[in-house]
A and B are shown apart, each in its own frame.
Chain A
Amino acid sequence: DIQMTQSPSSLSASIGDRVTITCRASQNISHYLHWYQQQPGKAPRLLIYSASTLQRGVPSRFRGSGSGTDFTLTISSLQPEDFTTYHCQQSYSALGDVFGQGTKLEIK
């Protein structure tokens, strides 16, 4: 079974900062890793799919990278609406963890 470890669980930053969130898989998942943003009380929104492809309509300050077991989501020049929760998801296998534990991004 695949284990997904997302870190950090919470992160404080300021508007205009650059931040990085990491997702690590316990085995090789190739590029089958996606990132979502979730505002409080709302459904998740797809940001990045297949590790590094920006979903239509998502601002270019969001960037995904990685392959195999280690992946990162980088947000450059944080905007006020970016302070919310981010989730990673692997679509390689339904056995084990599909989603990471989530990262809450807060204003410093």
Chain B
Amino acid sequence: EVRLVQSRAEVKKPGDFLKISCKASGYRFIGNWIGWVRQMPGKGLEWMGIIYPDDSDARYSPSFQGQVIISVDKSTNTAYLQWRSLKASDTAMYFCARQGDIAGPPFDYWGQGTLVTVSS
């Protein structure tokens, strides 16, 4: 069974560093792109970027380029999303999702989400 399990909710201050995680299981981790999606409170979904675990090839939305870093650890089948300096506007739910092997490809499996709250 494919599962993506994300790290717990975080409460941080502006300027803080943060790295959240997404641990994959139930499939060959290095063979599927993993993406990150932001959902601000009461808003729609925003595609942030995607990474191919086998070679760590990462692609970013222009809106998030330079604002976050997406990485993976192949030894633990885990993808990461990190901020060097959080802003209040980073408050949102963040989802990781696997890009499927099917036509498209869409995101066929999703993590449960990590709520990040940034407040002074």
Task: Report which A residues bind B (CB closer than 8 A).
Answer: 31-32, 34, 36, 38, 42-46, 49-50, 53, 55, 87, 89, 91, 94-95, 98-102
Q: Are B107 and A95 in contact (CB under 8 A)?
A: no
- Residues of B bordering A, CB below 8 Å: 37, 44-47, 50, 59, 61-62, 95, 97, 100, 102-108, 110-113
B42, chain A: closest CB distance, angstroms: 10
Using A49-B102, A49-B103, A87-B44 as known contacts, say yes or no to A98 and B110 having CB atoms under 8 A apart: no
Closest to B105 in A: A91
In the complex, what's the smallest C-beta–C-beta distance from A5 to chain B, in angstroms?
A: 12
Contacts A43-B111, A94-B59 hold; do A99 and B104 have CB atoms under 8 A apart? no
Given contacts A43-B113, A46-B107, 8 further A-B contacts (CB under 8 A): A38-B45, A44-B37, A49-B105, A49-B108, A50-B103, A94-B50, A98-B46, A101-B44
